[in-house]
Chains A and B, each alone.
Chain A
Amino acid sequence: MPLLEVKQMTHFFGGLRAVHDYNLQVEPMQIRGLIGPNGAGKTTIFNLITGVYNPTEGDIVLGNETINGLQPFRIASRGLGRTFQNLRLWRHMTVLEHVKLARYSKINYGLIGAFFDTPKRRKEEHEIEQLAYDLLDLVGIRHLADHVVTNLPYGAQRRVEMARALATEPKILFLDEPTAGMNPEELVQMMDIIRRVHKEIGLAIFLIEHRMRVVMELCQIIQTLVFGEVIAEGTPDEIQSNPKVIDAYLGKEVEI
């Protein structure tokens, strides 16, 4: 049984058909990729599945529950974690606070604890902190825990997003261009982190990427999206040799 299944999802922005008849099945422990030219609708698909938009048609099933129409925070707490293409960090908060906050829906001490600093709250906050440190270790930025995020280099900020998404305890992780804007060194490190996360936590991962190297090395199955429609799906080798994909990226040869 697939972990996440999207069935015949279509979405309109007013009269514009942004996504058409999109299908997806993500198995446990699988790494899947979504590629396509700019404006193809990749991020829209992410936003549809994570609940930012509500699809016009189609069903999204996570585990054995239909999740379309739910608010983003409900979908997130059911095990669908994500990062953003343009970093969306909270500019006045420290790295540690970012990761701790992603435990929001798992907190049990409630308002009483928040108001009166009860022993239960202290215990829970302490546990959250330990967990946050572990995750920061995993992505290799524990030493930056007390820094405010705006002061960090770009690569570190991406890692904060990653640790934060992991703190929500996802079953499946959505990465929206995890290596965008990175230099080659940071790129290698990020790929390393993705592999490590996949292996150590046993996550299924669904990622959007522009850099072919990343997609081809990491993903088991890749979809190619053009103008909101999937034109090809298959293993990296199949995609690389698919004439439709080559057309979409490089254009057709025209005889003059």
Chain B
Amino acid sequence: MELNVKYAEENRSRFRNLLHKLWEPYKQVPLLGWLLAALVAVLLEMLVGQPLARLLGMSKIPALFGVILVLKTPILIPSTLLYLLLIYGLPIAITARLTAKLTDFIAAKLYNTSTGLSILLHVALLYAVLHLWTSISDYRLLVVKLTLISIIITLSLNVINGYMGEFSCSHPGFIALGAYTASIFTIVLFVSENQFGEAVLPPALGPYLFPIGLVLGGIAAAIGALLVAIPSFRTRGDYLAIISLAFMFIVVSLFNNLEIVGGARGLSNQPDYANLATIFVWTILSIWIINNFVRSTIGKALNAVRDGELAASAMTVDTRKTKMVAFLFSAFWAGVAGGLFAHVIRYINPGTFGIRKLAEVLAMVYLGGLNSVAGSVVGAVGFNLLSEALRPLEILKWIIIPVMLILVMIYRPTGLIAFTELDPIALIKPKSMTEGEADNATS
């Protein structure tokens, strides 16, 4: 018996050693290497994905890593796994390892030339991967678009619920304000034959003026936020939670009763301006700006207000202004996300922005992790992929996801990646560089 236990333990440690040994060379792979490897895998899928899928008994390329397929027809589990290994697993592993030296060299060169340029290049590469990956199926494209929008929403709510430590429930309301404002902007100006009459401007201008619509949506949401903020930031406590919840219901019933924007029937005919590139750019922009904000001393004041308001004000922090600015800022991004959302689905109705949306957004924030930009990205991507992948389970999905959330809350009460700082420079840093070298390069 004892021998058995010992044997098992030895086996386990041997297994761990093996994993460790396998992982060892990959520690030298910079982010650039991983992106390049992903690009290779995606290209491979474009070239041979279809015939390989047929060969393995699948009717078409599995859209979301085959999870949906497997849940529908469990018999395909082995062939799906094989597909994943051949298309993603092996090519990524091999490319990353073989090109590690080269990519690290390039990463170092870029890093020394200009960190800004290097970051841009990484982002461009990421976009290329997403673009090619989503070109396989429209379903994939839709999931990726909605996931990117979710990132903006989650990140913006994290500013309030995480960084500032107040509990706000009005995000669906802000999203709705942004969605309706941006929709009205584009429909009135660029779409003919609808409830608002003929197009005012030539539709060809539409895509170029679309950002203005989004910003207007953001501003509308920020004005809504001002209405919530004025009464609720006089004192601390549960006021914000209650007032913001009321605000959300007011916004929904407002749009329900406004016949000019379609009432409960909703608003449709939004032009197809929200392509992947547009959404991607806005998402990156929101991540960049929000990350800048929370890492600045002005943004850190949010943390100080959360962890000790009296001390914050004794250290010259204007606590009321700090809270107001953060709240409006957060609402602005929710509004922008709403505008994008309306132009992806191309149909909105008040029912979309109810309590269920709120539950989703809160779940993404708390799953990913409070007070963390990386956490919000992980939370939004994780939640969206999960909820898409589990779609075939129908009603069971709404049991599994909450149970997982409860587990996360038990084992990691503040979320998966909480209370971390995202430093983009550290992300793109070549692996061969030591701390000292890197510091010299930046200064």
B-binding residues in A (CB < 8 A): 50, 52, 71-73, 76-77, 81-82, 84, 88-93, 97, 100-107, 109-111, 113-117, 121, 125, 128, 164-165, 167-168
Interface 9-mer from B27-35, B80-88, B95-103, B315-323: B315-323
**A100 and B316 within 8 A (CB):** no
Q: Which of B303, B306, B313, B371 contacts A72 (CB 8 A)?
A: B313
**B289 and A104 within 8 A (CB):** no
A–B Cβ pairs within 8 angstroms, 20 of them? A71-B318, A73-B316, A73-B317, A88-B311, A90-B307, A93-B303, A101-B301, A104-B301, A104-B315, A104-B318, A107-B297, A110-B298, A111-B298, A113-B298, A115-B289, A116-B292, A117-B292, A164-B315, A167-B315, A168-B315
CB neighbours (8 Å) of B314 from chain A are 50, 72-73, 76, 81-82, 84, 88, 165
Closest B residue, CB atoms, query A91: B307
Main secondary structure on B side of the interface with A: helix
Contact with A along B308-345 (1 / 0, CB 8 A): 10111111111100000100000000000000000000
Query: How many Å lie between the Cα of A84 and that of B311 in the bound state?
Result: 8
Within 8 A of A (CB), among B66-124: none
CB neighbours (8 Å) of A82 from chain B are 314
Return A174 CB to nearest CB of chain B, in Å. Answer: 9
**A104 and B292 within 8 A (CB):** no
A-binding residues in B (CB < 8 A): 289, 292-293, 296-301, 303-304, 306-308, 310-319, 325, 371, 419
Closest B residue, CB atoms, query A164: B315
**A128 and B297 within 8 A (CB):** yes
CB neighbours (8 Å) of A106 from chain B are 316
* Most chain A CB inside 10 Å of its own CB: which residue of B308, B315, B319: B315
* Most chain B CB inside 10 Å of its own CB: which residue of A76, A90, A164: A90
CB neighbours (8 Å) of A107 from chain B are 297-298
- Decide yes or no: A104 and B308 within 8 Å by CB, A73-B313, A73-B319, A115-B292 being known contacts: no
Return B307 CB to nearest CB of chain A, in Å. Answer: 4
- Decide yes or no: A77 and B316 within 8 Å by CB, A88-B310, A90-B304, A92-B419 being known contacts: yes
CB neighbours (8 Å) of B308 from chain A are 88-90
Closest A residue, CB atoms, query B290: A115
**A100 and B297 within 8 A (CB):** yes
Return B318 CB to nearest CB of chain A, in Å. Answer: 5
* Most chain B CB inside 10 Å of its own CB: which residue of A88, A105, A111, A114: A114
Q: Which of A91, A101, A113 contacts B315 (CB 8 A)?
A: A101
Q: Which of A88, A105, A114 contacts B296 (CB 8 A)?
A: A114
**A90 and B292 within 8 A (CB):** no
- Decide yes or no: A114 and B298 within 8 Å by CB, A72-B313, A76-B315 being known contacts: yes
Q: Which of B293, B310, B317, B318 contacts A114 (CB 8 A)?
A: B293
Main secondary structure on A side of the interface with B: helix
Query: How many Å lie between the Cα of A125 and that of B299 in the bound state?
Result: 12
Closest B residue, CB atoms, query A118: B292
Q: Which of B307, B316, B318, B319 contacts A93 (CB 8 A)?
A: B307
CB neighbours (8 Å) of A100 from chain B are 297, 300
Query: How many Å lie between the Cα of A164 and that of B314 in the bound state?
Result: 10
Return A23 CB to nearest CB of chain B, in Å. Answer: 24
Return B155 CB to nearest CB of chain A, in Å. Answer: 14
**A104 and B310 within 8 A (CB):** no
Return B158 CB to nearest CB of chain A, in Å. Answer: 14
* 3 closest A-B pairs by CB: A105-B316, A90-B307, A88-B311
Query: How many Å lie between the Cα of A104 and that of B318 in the bound state?
Result: 9
Query: How many Å lie between the Cα of A104 and that of B322 in the bound state?
Result: 11
Return B428 CB to nearest CB of chain A, in Å. Answer: 15
CB neighbours (8 Å) of B310 from chain A are 52, 72, 84, 88
CB neighbours (8 Å) of A90 from chain B are 303-304, 306-308, 311-312
Query: How many Å lie between the Cα of A149 and that of B292 in the bound state?
Result: 23
**A125 and B296 within 8 A (CB):** yes
Query: How many Å lie between the Cα of A84 and that of B315 in the bound state?
Result: 11
**A73 and B318 within 8 A (CB):** yes
CB neighbours (8 Å) of B306 from chain A are 90
**B292 and A97 within 8 A (CB):** no
**B307 and A92 within 8 A (CB):** yes
Q: Which of B297, B316, B371 contacts A168 (CB 8 A)?
A: B316
Query: How many Å lie between the Cα of A125 and that of B300 in the bound state?
Result: 12
Closest A residue, CB atoms, query B321: A73
**B315 and A114 within 8 A (CB):** no
Query: How many Å lie between the Cα of A88 and that of B315 in the bound state?
Result: 11
Q: Which of B289, B297, B319, B325 contacts A101 (CB 8 A)?
A: B297
Return A81 CB to nearest CB of chain B, in Å. Answer: 8
Return B425 CB to nearest CB of chain A, in Å. Answer: 11
Query: How many Å lie between the Cα of A115 and that of B301 in the bound state?
Result: 14
Return B241 CB to nearest CB of chain A, in Å. Answer: 21
Query: How many Å lie between the Cα of A167 and that of B314 in the bound state?
Result: 11
Query: How many Å lie between the Cα of A81 and that of B316 in the bound state?
Result: 9
- Decide yes or no: A93 and B300 within 8 Å by CB, A52-B310, A76-B315, A101-B317 being known contacts: yes
Query: How many Å lie between the Cα of A113 and that of B314 in the bound state?
Result: 24
CB neighbours (8 Å) of A102 from chain B are 315-316
Closest A residue, CB atoms, query B291: A117
CB neighbours (8 Å) of B315 from chain A are 73, 76, 101-102, 104, 164-165, 167-168
Return B418 CB to nearest CB of chain A, in Å. Answer: 10
CB neighbours (8 Å) of B299 from chain A are 114
CB neighbours (8 Å) of A84 from chain B are 310-311, 314
- Known: A88-B314, A90-B307; 12 extra A-B contacts, CB below 8 A, are A71-B313, A73-B314, A73-B317, A82-B314, A89-B307, A90-B311, A97-B300, A97-B303, A101-B304, A114-B298, A167-B315, A168-B315
CB neighbours (8 Å) of A114 from chain B are 292-293, 296, 298-299
Return A62 CB to nearest CB of chain B, in Å. Answer: 14
**B300 and A76 within 8 A (CB):** no
Closest B residue, CB atoms, query A149: B307
Query: How many Å lie between the Cα of A103 and that of B314 in the bound state?
Result: 11
CB neighbours (8 Å) of B307 from chain A are 89-93
Query: How many Å lie between the Cα of A128 and that of B297 in the bound state?
Result: 9
CB neighbours (8 Å) of A101 from chain B are 297, 300-301, 304, 312, 315, 317
Return B354 CB to nearest CB of chain A, in Å. Answer: 31
CB neighbours (8 Å) of A91 from chain B are 307
Return B282 CB to nearest CB of chain A, in Å. Answer: 15
